Structure 1
């Protein structure tokens, strides 16, 4: 089975690459659908011939089975607030396809075909920001996507919000048909939080790369001693993230004429009689401890990438339709804890990165600390001109706001759904 990556998602979202489904993947999906069609004929299976959630105790008459699938889509399209950005919704649809390609949902391939068309033609369903509780996956947000798959709701297409049916007709596309459980499968899973996580992952990795680069520059401005990034020093700490960041800093700083060599400046006999050293013996923490600060952030992002890619290639549906063992398993693969916990870690890590950047900016602006630059980098007339003084207000404000947003969501839980989701 093909394993898809976040880098592939990046190429689709930002590189203009088209999403394609292989023949082998289609076959896997077809096998699941064919098996379920046969297996479900004389059995009670959740969401096929029962109600949903706490209503699962009620059997649904065979003549209403297709209505049941439409009902879950329409009844759960109850989100509120502004629409989620297009790139997040595209990533969510990619993640939903990733789940379907595992062949554990028992759906018809036309669902995958229409989602693929939406992604490749940038037909973006209206998906409101509010409504997901996470523990039951992204029921509300996925329902809004599913609503567009059945030709209802609205989509963002070529800069305008339009009725889905009109856009489908204009593009020569047709809404999906309900066969067995397409309604439940389209709404049940972690694909929206996974899509959001993947987009944020790409942004976070870019921010970390910039943070490493600017940290080297800051140490050059300060004429720091280069042993802060020395291989032995950082390898003795053993953490892979710290070792990697130090290695990246050495690569960026290679050939720098701005960094100092401690053995030339302080380890020779020329300074043995000095009582007060002109050059700072050790730089401030925000400069000198960069490998130790950014290292954990790097490791956090590495782990979140791993978890997100697992989820991209995971069956997050319920029930799980397994033609291999010829069984249908009822469980909770829609549960969002894996994503929620990792994204809270990423959030905290990025706030730490923000705090470090703010302190580095303070070093640049504070003439009594850096000792070499005018206040707030003001090259004009002091008192009359203010340089970048007000920029620090924005930096401090943004950092403070980020710190309040670091409060974990993972630990919040309110029972609902008649305590079915307890």
Structure 2
């Protein structure tokens, strides 16, 4: 059923690796609500946005026979978005999210609208939707209006990843007539949080995967630096029972079980001849990038989990106004389009994503520094160091990416500016927050790609025989996407190739399989 899609399934639809189908029950709910709406329109009931104007102009009553023009004018005046277009996966995600809301049976849209959006997803038709211009208060009015405009045969679309073409031309090529949005079709299409929810859904699964990938990177980092396995012991998490920290202890402890590179858990004793103090002995504990991995990544995992739960709730909700309740013969006006939950959750996730990138950059910095990396050559360049600089430039790029991320850490959800003649006197700005997270996640994966390349080079230098099976698999995976570094070469293409592969759920699935276990 469409209305029971998981976040992972929604991502598959967004990536055009799956599509959606409507169940008979969902179709029935849509038809029932639409029939109820038509009854109320026929009885000349005052219904916001259907027989009235919009926003502060709702004091204007509109005759039912002007329905189609009213809906068209709504789309026209809201098509004021600017900036680069949303990516194809974001556009498909928001279309799916809007369908889920409409198919709950409380919006009153026509079956024709619902079936057309489903058909567009099947045929790979993607509307051009400017990314900026919504405050997320009456939902994502502006970007969703550009979707409505494209469905009506105006604006531009892409078909199966092709170039932007006029929507009218695409309709002609596909042999279908553009939709005529009437009754409540346009306002129900635009009056919801589905742009924010769709982007946030993609952010949710990609952030959670990033934590899992970071867990593998941390383990390889620890093995290369011959760290103490003791810090991963699950008993440490038992006495500080944050679920994320416990999960990370569980993952790292289980994954490191066969590692011969980590220092084993042992009871150390003082030298028998110790009279007073004996200085300059081996450190019994590691730097925090290694020792505090369960705590650092565990806290991020908890934030990701909380964010995902908020998104799941929003996706299963009806974000619209007014809402129709056919069984109760009621039409209720309210504010379910107000995207505050997603705004707060997105800002919280953004901080966690930035911290994850910072953590990755700190690992890169330590293991490329000959003063701190347990004997590895500077910047992981094993041949003619100085003549060749290895990953020196890549490490600087990681630093730059993190600095840029930190400059984008200001919460969007507290930037409310009244608008719409003070009708929207508070606005949540959740779409800005979700788009910012999306950008942060892209840059996080670029930092992680640099780390993966650096650590894989470390395996070439130190050997892989003592590594755990999970990190041996990670090394092999990296080498499928980028060759080892012998002499200096441009690394930009390698970084991008590895970053794109890390973001691909299908490509990393074999790597993440050992982490799919839950807490014991």
Correspondence 1:71 to 2:62: no
Of the candidates 63, 81, 84, which is equivalent to residue 83 of structure 2?
81
- State how 1:61-210 maps to structure 2 within 5 Å: 61-158=63-160, 159-210=162-213
How far off its partner does 1:278 sit? 4.7
SS at match of 1:234: helix
Matches within 5 A, 1:254-403: 254-263=257-266, 267-268=268-269, 273=274, 275-276=278-279, 278-403=281-406
* 8 Å Cα contact 1:380/1:387 also seen in 2: no
C-alpha distance in 2 between matches for 1:272 and 1:119: 76
Tell me by how many angstroms 1:269 deviates.
5.9
Aligned equivalents of 1:174, 1:316: Cα separation in 2:
28
Q: Deviations over 1:340-375 (max 9, x none)?
A: 111111110000001100111111111111232111
Secondary structure, aligned partner of 1:134? coil
Preserved CA contact (<8 Å) 1:4 1:309? no
- Aligned equivalents of 1:374, 1:386: Cα separation in 2: 10
Question: What TM-score comes out, normalization by structure 1 length?
Answer: 0.96
By how many angstroms is 1:173 displaced?
Answer: 2.5
Q: Displacement, 1:272?
A: 7.2
Cα distance in 2 for residues equivalent to 1:276 and 1:202: 48
1:6-63 deviations in Å (ceiling 9; x for gaps): 1221222336222111111000111111111112323111011100000001111333
> Are the structure 2 counterparts of residues 338 and 369 from structure 1 closer, same or farther at C-alpha, using a change threshold of 3 Å?
same
Q: Which runs of 5+ in 1 are unaligned?
A: none
1:30 aligns with 2:16: no
Q: Tell me the residue number matched to 1:420.
A: 423
For 2:283, what is the secondary structure of its paired residue?
Answer: coil
5+ residue gaps, structure 2, are 426-520
Q: Distance in 2 between matches of 1:85 and 1:272?
A: 68
User: What is the distance in 1 between the residues matched to 2:81 and 2:273?
Assistant: 71
**Scaled by the length of structure 2, what TM-score is found?**
0.78
Which range moved further: 68-77 or 150-159? Answer: 150-159
- 2:517 aligned residue: none
Change (3 A) 1:223 1:62: same
Relative to structure 1, the CA distance from residue 149 to residue 272 in structure 2 (aligned partners, 3 Å threshold; closer, same or farther) is farther
214, 232, 242: which one aligns with 2:217: 214
Provide the C-alpha distance between the structure 1 equivalents of 2:394 and 2:12, rounded to a whole number of angstroms: 34
Where does residue 16 of structure 1 map in the other structure? 17
Query: What is the alpha-carbon distance in structure 2 between the residues aligned to residue 282 and residue 388 of structure 1?
Result: 27
Distance 1:389 1:11 in 2: 37
* In structure 1, distance between residues paired with 2:29 and 2:14: 25
Cα distance in 2 between the residues matched to 1:36 and 1:353 = 49
Q: CA deviation at 1:270?
A: 6.0
2 CA distance for matches of 1:352 and 1:205? Answer: 14
151-160 vs 282-291, which moves further: 151-160
Q: Which runs of 4+ in 1 moved over 3 A?
A: 268-274, 276-279
What is the CA RMSD across the aligned residues, in angstroms? 1.6
Shift of 1:176: 2.1
Counterpart-to-counterpart distance in 2, 1:365 and 1:68:
63
| 1:376 positional shift | 1.2
For residue 386 of structure 2, give the secondary structure of its aligned residue in structure 1.
Answer: coil
